[in-house]
Structure 1
């Protein structure tokens, strides 16, 4: 069998068959269990020891180049060539003949590889010095001919086929398409330590959980469910045969059934309907530049114990010390850590009305238990408040100013110290110790500044 050192891929589909997802994704970049059709092709070409790959890209060229700037990871040189979109492969090759090799493998990279039992792919072709054969091969790769010709699987002809392909990949029915991450059980994959083997065992059907995604323990998962990277599925949500695309928030008690979610876009596969959800408490995009802030179970437990142990004296003080003309308990609209600054999720912040700040904040421990706030973090922000820096939301009941009231924090210091206190990469105990050390570190910094001046 002849070994080819070069390959030419065509990834210039407009993706109109996949509307409305084509507005956000090239067909070649559609997320499938943490990867994409183009990445599956790269992995196959790597196994074939290809040394140079040329890709024809169209309207989504910027996104494709940004995601795959080079082929170094797969051990080949990667070069991009432009197409007007769904041009005839033969025309593209003839127009760029001076840059292309004469012997190469050819395939459409905006469809999923179609495996044969013998280890080859039915939609990957060889082209060589036989000009007549090469012309015929390239003609068969024209998108217009492929979509209107004999129906073959894995072409991504519609959104339902996209969902079916995702299920096949999770079920390991396509040997050339392996999900990103680890297989913890049959048809169960995870790319994040947040979703442990213990939790995988509680799921009966196929599942994928992507990098940096958070799935609350109370979430119900049935059927084939793919949760891509940087998603947050909140308490009480129900997922049944669902695809959650990267950077999507699923709100509390929201049901997603036979649907695709892309930020605030809900696509109902059963009825063929797509709708933008305007309420960010239900569905919303997550700021991909900001890390998700999760309230750990240890924090929730600590907040519950604090409320339980202190209620006997806090509640009488709240009643006796209530300011005249004010209700005992007030509610104000603020941001929840479940959202982001660009896509805020509102929180009805509870507080007592007394002359004691500590007593006033006591009801806010409820928000820690609910997961809307951290125990330690940055100051709580109003929905319309413009931050000094575009940092992650990590608001806490206790802030750096509470831990060291005599230090004059500026706004940026307050944000950075608060983020350090809320650091989700450390345990709650480590953050508590960090909070204690924060009571002395600013003071030392203040003294040093005074000496230097």
Structure 2
């Protein structure tokens, strides 16, 4: 038997937190959500997995690799965000008679997969719907579940069929991670050690609370925890300075710095976050410069690094990936092409006039450059994406853009605002302005998943092929 894990949620319910984490990679007790599903699957004896990913495909693959850590074989499959399960299974071209476990890897549940599989095998001709904590547990077994595969689509359908199927009520807790409160409750439940068959993996330390402990990761500097009234989880490499007060249940991620005399109460501090001196944080989620108040779900973006911010070494914003040699070659190309510019402008105008198009001879693209500034860069309205974008090479020479990078239209994808923009890329070279947004996103994801060292040369070759085929 093999498993198909769905990790293709966009996480819009958690915006703007989803700009840092997709649901599958959300940390719960300093471990990504999807890791709990993988650990649960390996206990059931399944070792082959197809992992359905979307917007943050590259980040998920970099985090999980090929599954060696768990003794798994993971094959990645790209989909649209929250695409229908039926459409995905058709593209996977799997046998309808094969036993397959379908499971969502972007919700958090108590370990239960072995129990679900064993029970379902006893009812091999019936669809077994799994319920946990009075909710859809996000798993099913094919082929019996084939008529009901829409039940695992995200968002979950609110109704359950109670007459024509077998219902298995599983012991444990299930968190949909579809709100800040749900995400917070998942972390606090783990930190309080109340989840069946699931405990924090960090080392246990006694707190001043006789009924609860701290769980502390490696190389964490915490001070005297037995004098703290709180309890919870503290990630590896984190540092809690002098006179910090930890009250009630707290979860602090790895590589965090809690500065002196601050107060943390009933809160979640996500990895790589700095909490400033004498700052009081209660009933909140902190993620770098985001402060999320759980009482009213309000989100505050804080730009003062002395309060909260990223506790990590970020790449310099003006650091350009285009080498000096490449820039020199681009300069020669740009200068040598200048005599052709009047002819290209004339050709663009005549072409649009003959085709009775309303467009201008040039097109203006809106960019947010690699320094965070918005500007306009023009190109000719002609076939041939590389030739049309010759004027934009000037911005590569000035460092505002990279030669290869995301398109300005690519910002709809989760996390794209943190990525570098370029003149050339798969969307810029292989698609026209009429291409639907879903096609643009899938093309970007496909290119991100290509790990070949020659992928940029291959992209240029595909662009020339596309230009040649479109001509004939």
TM interval, shorter chain, is: 0.5 to 0.7
**Alpha-carbon contact 2:24-2:106 (below 8 Å) kept:** yes
Counterpart-to-counterpart distance in 2, 1:73 and 1:222: 35
**SS in structure 1 of the partner of residue 108 of structure 2:** coil
**Partner of 2:177 in structure 1?**
156
Q: CA deviation at 1:117?
A: 12
**Partner of 2:218 in structure 1?**
192
**SS in structure 2 of the partner of residue 95 of structure 1:** helix
**Alpha-carbon contact 2:102-2:142 (below 8 Å) kept:** no
**1:107 pairs with 96, 103, 107, which one?**
103
Aligned-residue RMSD, C-alpha: 2.6
**1:8 pairs with 4, 25, 32, which one?**
4
**SS in structure 2 of the partner of residue 53 of structure 1:** strand
**SS in structure 1 of the partner of residue 184 of structure 2:** helix
Deviations 1:143-173 (A, max 9, x none): 1234x457x9400120011111111111222
**Alpha-carbon contact 1:203-1:222 (below 8 Å) kept:** yes
Q: CA deviation at 1:228?
A: 0.2
Structure 1 range deviating more: 110-119 or 160-169: 110-119
1:141 aligns with 2:152: yes
1:247 aligns with 2:259: no
Count of aligned positions: 281
Matches within 5 A, 1:430-449: none
Matches within 5 A, 1:88-107: 88-98=84-94, 102-107=98-103
Q: CA deviation at 1:218?
A: 1.1
5+ long unaligned stretches in structure 2: 117-129, 132-136, 161-172, 207-211, 316-370, 372-472
Q: CA deviation at 1:288?
A: 4.8
Counterpart-to-counterpart distance in 2, 1:71 and 1:115: 19
TM-score by length of 1: 0.58
**Partner of 1:57 in structure 2?**
53
Distance 1:241 1:49, change over 3 A: same
Counterpart-to-counterpart distance in 2, 1:155 and 1:286: 29
Q: CA deviation at 1:63?
A: 1.2
TM-score by length of 2: 0.55
5+ long unaligned stretches in structure 1: 291-341, 343-453
Matches within 5 A, 1:290-439: none
Deviations 1:314-335 (A, max 9, x none): xxxxxxxxxxxxxxxxxxxxxx
Bigger Rg, which one? 1
Matches within 5 A, 1:169-318: 169-185=190-206, 186-195=212-221, 199-288=224-313
**SS in structure 2 of the partner of residue 145 of structure 1:** coil
Counterpart-to-counterpart distance in 2, 1:172 and 1:159: 20
**Partner of 1:405 in structure 2?**
none
1:47 aligns with 2:43: yes
**2:142 pairs with 128, 139, 148, which one?**
128
Runs (4+) off by over 4 Å: 98-101, 114-122
